[in-house]
Structure 1
Amino acid sequence: MVLLFTSFLSLLTTVYGLTSSLQQVNNWSTASTNPTGVGMYLYKPTTVITPTPILVAAHYCGGTAQAYFSGTQYAAFADTYGYLVIYPNAPAVGSCWDVNTNATLSHNGGGDSLGIVSMVRYAVSNLGGDVNRAYITGTSSGAMMTNVLIGAYPDVFKGGSAFSGVPFGCFAGPYAWNTQCAMGELIMTPQQWGDLVRNAYPGYTGPRPKMQVWHGTADTTLYPQNFQEEVKQWTNVLNYSLTAQETNTNDPLPGYTRSIYGPSFQAILAQGVGHTVPEQANDVLTYFGLNAASPAPTTISTTIGPTGPTSTIFVPPATTVPPPTGVPTAAHWAQCGGIGFTGPTVCASPYTCQVSNAYWSQCL
């Protein structure tokens, strides 16, 4: 079975035209830096920019690093834009992430979260990773971990994007599964949710990462009330109003509504979509600035917390690789990938190539 799956990944690399392959990284950690034994897998394109941005892509419960590599577009986009992708592999039986223990919910406290953070630190120290451009995205359990890492490690990550997750601390407790949280019955005030994040790293006064959350209205695994609780939490942490500054319908897809609360937080609700919202890789990269063509430097003023100080942050221009020109593109609804497919693998704007299975991907 292992040999067959390895061959499948090699075939995917060939079919999708990737310049490199997924590699397991060994001997990168110690018991103190990776106490739960999270596995590290890395996709490093043949050509990277320097220093190299880092994207962590966390799989869903029951998934693996290899499955998330083959089922998402982050590696393919890395070839174009020159960033590293770290695919952590959950060590627990059932492959769910530890998002409930005090250790994982505390800055440098331990748990799976410290293992993932240690991968980023390793990439910065040994792989030319950019300490100022590390980001995290994930689906379901990986989305929960995204919330955890953005909350507990605001000094490490500059942004997160969570697909069908729950707020930071929602699953806190002795058990890996919390029915009250999952069913959207854990209702708290914005201040209470925000305090959970602030208490994860007491005394932290630096800038908070930007955050993007996605959820489906028909989710019966992690009920959509969790989306509303996430909105409460991150608007409070970032000192934004609960009333969105801008609301865009049918964005990025029909039936999706994007609510923008400020430059560092947006929430996208997908009408009629269950668990989970399909990953929108191009949208995520746009939000993180990983697919931008050398934007001008900006200065951002931000207030940390509801009553915290205001700080001014200078953000240097991103030295990313622009997308190739003259590349054939596939139209909306057209096939854009799959085993044996030889046509265009890049979709016409604003559509992205979504993987349905190993044999079929489509521009949506």
Structure 2
Amino acid sequence: MAPLGFFFSALAALSTTVFGASLQQVTNFGTNPTGAGMYIYVPDSLPTNPAILVAIHYCTGTAQAYFTGTQFASLADQYGYIVIYPNAPDSGGCWDVHSAATLSHNAGGDSLSIVNMVRYTISTYKADSSRVFAAGTSSGAMMCEVLAGAYPDVFAGVAGFAGVPFSCFAGPNMWNSDCANGNIDKTGAQWGDLVRAAYPGYTGPRPKLQLWHGTADTTLSYNNLGESVKEWTNVLGLSTTPTSTQQNSPLSGWTRNIYGSGQLQAITAQGVTHNIPVQASDVLAFFGLNQTPTTSPGTSTTTTTAPGGGTTTVTPPSGGTVPKWGQCGGTGYTGPTACVTGTTCIKMNDWYSQCQ
């Protein structure tokens, strides 16, 4: 099998944050058809009915590497959501995104193991089933699109960094060179039919998607981003023409295309290889998870509609300084804008600025 995602050694060195809680393994979370490992990060302070983020590692990676190499756990301390870190059972650390079982609703494969981790977490922590999200890199990004296609009833949104369309890797082997090299070209309807066949008869809401890809990716061709856009605009009933385009968003040289009213975002990272850096704060803003939760009565709050339905009551931070990686500005933001010493408020996009 060709290597997938082995370029992510830099991830493990990114975070030196001291977390408020610790990563814990869960060994009995229910039906686990492939023997995937479950690790969970639960902040010391949680709001009532917290959201869930599933953070899915790349090939050759582990749950622990993605825990330490991304900011999702440290941001969970700030925003009060639970993070599930699945660990792939494959000896190479890759996810099953190819089998008929994993590509079908409740049929098995790694996708069902991950979904049962979510179901366990909802039951154990009384988490909000309408605010379940997934984010991943490389093979983990591919799994995000699998989850969006096979389990639209579970996930309100997904974000994938350097992935491929749902069912692009379908076949007998873990590795699909035709897809990896960008040689699979289908119409939007053909791609969309593959998604709809994953859960026949499903008529409920579909997850929102944020898809990221570097133009210099030689492991998973950049062509796959265009195929994913064709696939998901068809599934969501959107035009393939963006409703808006943002240049240099969130970083210089990156371009963000927005489709419909924002249900789909496709971000092109010009000149970036397969080792695309995870933009955790941008992902949280897209999911609506970048809000400080209400923790005590009598606090001024606001209620916002959560992606995928339902509402969540939140309160903006007030007074003091913003910690590193915290929000310090953006459209509608009313909290503090002064960053902790040693960090600067950086504009990520129109609705989110971050201390870094």
Q: Using structure 1 for the length normalisation, give the TM-score.
A: 0.82
The equivalent residue for 1:58 is: 56
Contact 1:80/1:324 (8 A) holds in 2: no
Give the residue type in structure 2 aligned to 1:195: D
Q: Using structure 2 for the length normalisation, give the TM-score.
A: 0.84
> Following TM superposition, by how much is the alpha carbon of 1:128 offset from its aligned partner in structure 2, in angstroms?
1.8
> Following TM superposition, by how much is the alpha carbon of 1:18 offset from its aligned partner in structure 2, in angstroms?
1.6
Judge which range, 287-296 or 166-175, deviates more.
Answer: 287-296
Distance in 2 separating the partners of 1:299 and 1:26:
30
| Superposition map of 1:62-73 within 5 A | 62-73=60-71
Give the residue type in structure 2 aligned to 1:225: N
Q: 2:93 aligns with which of 95, 98, 105?
A: 95
> Following TM superposition, by how much is the alpha carbon of 1:297 offset from its aligned partner in structure 2, in angstroms?
4.5
1:216 aligns with 2:214: yes
Contact 2:323/2:355 (8 A) holds in 1: no
Give the residue type in structure 2 aligned to 1:126: T
Q: How big is each residue's C-alpha offset from its partner over 1:106-140, in whole Å with a ceiling of 9 and x where there is no partner?
A: 00010000000000000011122111110000000
> Following TM superposition, by how much is the alpha carbon of 1:17 offset from its aligned partner in structure 2, in angstroms?
3.1
The equivalent residue for 1:288 is: 287
The equivalent residue for 1:348 is: 345
The equivalent residue for 2:334 is: none
The equivalent residue for 2:275 is: 276
| Superposition map of 1:146-295 within 5 A | 146-262=144-260, 263-292=262-291
Residues 73, 325 of structure 1: CA spacing in aligned structure 2 closer, same or farther, 3 A cutoff?
A: farther
Residues 346, 115 of structure 1: CA spacing in aligned structure 2 closer, same or farther, 3 A cutoff?
A: farther
Contact 1:16/1:345 (8 A) holds in 2: no
Partner SS, residue 16 of structure 1:
coil
Distance in 2 separating the partners of 1:241 and 1:53:
30
> Following TM superposition, by how much is the alpha carbon of 1:345 offset from its aligned partner in structure 2, in angstroms?
8.0
Contact 2:304/2:314 (8 A) holds in 1: no
Give the residue type in structure 2 aligned to 1:23: Q
1:23 aligns with 2:20: no
Contact 1:25/1:40 (8 A) holds in 2: yes
Q: 2:122 aligns with which of 110, 121, 124?
A: 124
Q: Kindly tell me the number of residue pairs found equivalent between the two proteins.
A: 317
Q: How big is each residue's C-alpha offset from its partner over 1:284-319, in whole Å with a ceiling of 9 and x where there is no partner?
A: 00000001356544599xxxxxxxxxxxx8x44323
Distance in 2 separating the partners of 1:124 and 1:192:
34
Contact 1:81/1:322 (8 A) holds in 2: no
Distance in 1 separating the partners of 2:61 and 2:86:
11
What runs of 5+ residues in structure 2 fail to find an aligned partner?
1-13, 293-300, 326-339
> Following TM superposition, by how much is the alpha carbon of 1:348 offset from its aligned partner in structure 2, in angstroms?
1.8
Contact 2:95/2:139 (8 A) holds in 1: yes
Judge which range, 247-256 or 16-25, deviates more.
Answer: 16-25
The equivalent residue for 2:37 is: 39
Residues 297, 22 of structure 1: CA spacing in aligned structure 2 closer, same or farther, 3 A cutoff?
A: closer
Partner SS, residue 154 of structure 1:
coil
The equivalent residue for 2:79 is: 81
Distance in 1 separating the partners of 2:258 and 2:109:
32
Q: How big is each residue's C-alpha offset from its partner over 1:188-243, in whole Å with a ceiling of 9 and x where there is no partner?
A: 00000011100000000001110110000000000000010000001000010010
Distance in 1 separating the partners of 2:276 and 2:36:
25
Contact 1:157/1:209 (8 A) holds in 2: yes
Residues 325, 85 of structure 1: CA spacing in aligned structure 2 closer, same or farther, 3 A cutoff?
A: farther
Distance in 1 separating the partners of 2:85 and 2:306:
31
The equivalent residue for 1:327 is: 321
Residues 189, 37 of structure 1: CA spacing in aligned structure 2 closer, same or farther, 3 A cutoff?
A: same
> Following TM superposition, by how much is the alpha carbon of 1:344 offset from its aligned partner in structure 2, in angstroms?
5.3
Give the residue type in structure 2 aligned to 1:180: D
Contact 1:82/1:321 (8 A) holds in 2: no
Distance in 1 separating the partners of 2:184 and 2:208:
24
Give the residue type in structure 2 aligned to 1:286: A
Distance in 2 separating the partners of 1:75 and 1:138:
14
Residues 145, 295 of structure 1: CA spacing in aligned structure 2 closer, same or farther, 3 A cutoff?
A: farther
What runs of 5+ residues in structure 1 fail to find an aligned partner?
1-11, 301-312, 332-342, 353-361
Residues 153, 241 of structure 1: CA spacing in aligned structure 2 closer, same or farther, 3 A cutoff?
A: same
Which stretches of structure 1, 4 residues or longer, exceed 6 Å deviation after superposition?
A: none
Give the residue type in structure 1 aligned to 2:285: T
Distance in 2 separating the partners of 1:363 and 1:214:
22
